[in-house]
């Protein structure tokens, strides 16, 4: 007995096979601050293209060292501009794919809904014991926190109470778990994308207190899936991706 698929279903099956045949798996290194947004964008990209995206989250400085050592990443979504530009200058990233995908904002955050005031005056008080920040040598948001404390002339006064995380995700974790009452983190880490009330309390740090946090993306030159990697980097500028980027408190 001969079985024939309906024409519409047959066409869909062929399309699915064709999509599967050209699907690639991408290894994307993502700065810790952008992880929640990146996961959503990656899921959208997978649905729209059939490619599979594996997201690794960490500090930009560490990713640079790993790429230098030959780690098989296809794309870097950095927390700064300097690192991707450096990779391009060394011939380890594709110049034509380099662009700013997001501009971040720094916030002072606490899990305590009553601790942080609207002007950040809590930093001058004795209401807290520890302030967590990301390592300024590895994480641009850590550098922004350092610049902010310097601009406020508080760097020396709070130094003994500062605890340093390897990256911005760890800095937030310290504050979430009670190991620090305050943390300098990215707005995108604590702003719910659905418009819900921000948990805890926070002060949106004025952007004149630190250098702009322009975050660049680039395709790694050694990528074995360069076409799909370029598609992913280009996708970051799509309306779908930018809706997510904006929802998490970033601009571009």
- pLDDT at position 16, please? 47
pLDDT of residue 23: 84
Chain centroid, CA 104 distance in Å = 9
With beta carbons less than 8 A apart as the criterion, state whether 29 and 222 touch: no
pLDDT at 138: 84
End-to-end alpha-carbon separation of the chain, Å? 60
Domain 7-103+213-247 in CATH: superfamily? Periplasmic binding protein-like II (3.40.190.10)
Neighbours of 121 (CB within 10 A): 11
> Model confidence over 66-96: pLDDT tens digits?
999 999 999 999 999 999 999 999 999 999 9
CA atoms of 46 and 23, how far apart (whole Å): 9
CA distances from 184 to 43, 131, 176 (A): 28, 8, 12
pLDDT at 161 over 90: yes
Q: Give the integer Cα–Cα distance in Å for 65 and 134.
A: 17
* pLDDT band of 198, cuts 50, 70, 90: confident
Q: Does pLDDT of 103 surpass 90?
A: yes
Q: What is the pLDDT of residue 6?
A: 56
Can you state the percent helix, strand and coil of the chain, rounding each to 5? Answer: 45, 20, 35
Return d(Cα 129, Cα 145) in angstroms, integer.
Answer: 17
- Extract the runs of DSSP E, i.e. beta strands, from the chain: 25-31, 52-58, 75-77, 99-104, 106-110, 131-134, 162-165, 182-186, 201-204, 213-219
d(CA 240, CA 210): 29
| Other Cβ atoms within 10 Å of 249 Cβ, number | 21
- Which of 130, 118, 240 shows the shortest CA–CA distance to 183? 130
Distance of alpha carbon 44 from alpha carbon 153, whole angstroms: 44
Tell me which DSSP letter residue 11 carries.
Answer: H
List the structure tokens of 167: 């990256």
Collapsing DSSP to helix, strand or coil, 251 comes out as strand
For residue 220, what is the DSSP state?
A: B
Is the separation of the CB atoms in 167 and 196 below 8 Å? no
pLDDT mean over 223-240: 98
CATH number of the domain at 106-204, please? 3.40.190.10
Q: Per-domain residue ranges for the chain?
A: 7-103+213-247, 106-204
Q: How far apart are CA 63 and CA 21, in angstroms?
A: 30
Q: Is 110:200 a contact under the CB 8 Å cutoff?
A: yes
Q: What is the pTM of this model?
A: 0.83
Number of neighbours of residue 75 by Cβ within 10 angstroms: 26
């Amino acid at each position: 007995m001969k079985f024939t698929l309906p024409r519409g279903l047959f066409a869909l099956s062929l399309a699915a096979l064709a999509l599967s045949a050209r699907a690639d798996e991408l290894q994307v290194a993502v700065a810790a601050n952008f992880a929640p947004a990146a996961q959503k964008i990656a899921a959208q990209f997978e649905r729209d293209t059939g490619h599979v995206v594996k997201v690794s989250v960490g500090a930009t400085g560490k990713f640079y060292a790993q790429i230098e050592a030959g780690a098989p990443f296809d794309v870097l979504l950095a927390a700064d501009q300097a690192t991707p530009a450096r990779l391009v200058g060394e011939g380890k990233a594709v110049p034509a794919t380099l662009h700013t995908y997001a501009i971040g904002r720094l916030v002072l955050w606490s899990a305590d809904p009553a601790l942080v005031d609207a002007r950040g005056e809590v930093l001058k008080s004795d209401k807290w014991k520890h302030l967590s920040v990301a390592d300024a040598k590895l994480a641009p948001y850590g550098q922004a926190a350092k610049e902010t404390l310097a601009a406020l002339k508080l760097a020396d006064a709070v130094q003994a109470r500062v605890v340093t995380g390897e990256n911005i995700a760890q800095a937030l974790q310290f504050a979430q778990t009670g190991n620090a009452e305050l943390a300098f983190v990215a707005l995108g880490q604590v702003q719910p994308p659905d418009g819900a009330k921000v948990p805890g309390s926070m002060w949106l740090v004025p952007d004149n207190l630190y250098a702009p946090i322009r975050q660049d993306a680039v395709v790694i030159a050694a990528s074995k899936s360069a076409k799909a990697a370029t598609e992913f980097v280009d996708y970051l500028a799509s309306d779908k991706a930018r809706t997510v980027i904006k929802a998490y408190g970033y601009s571009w």
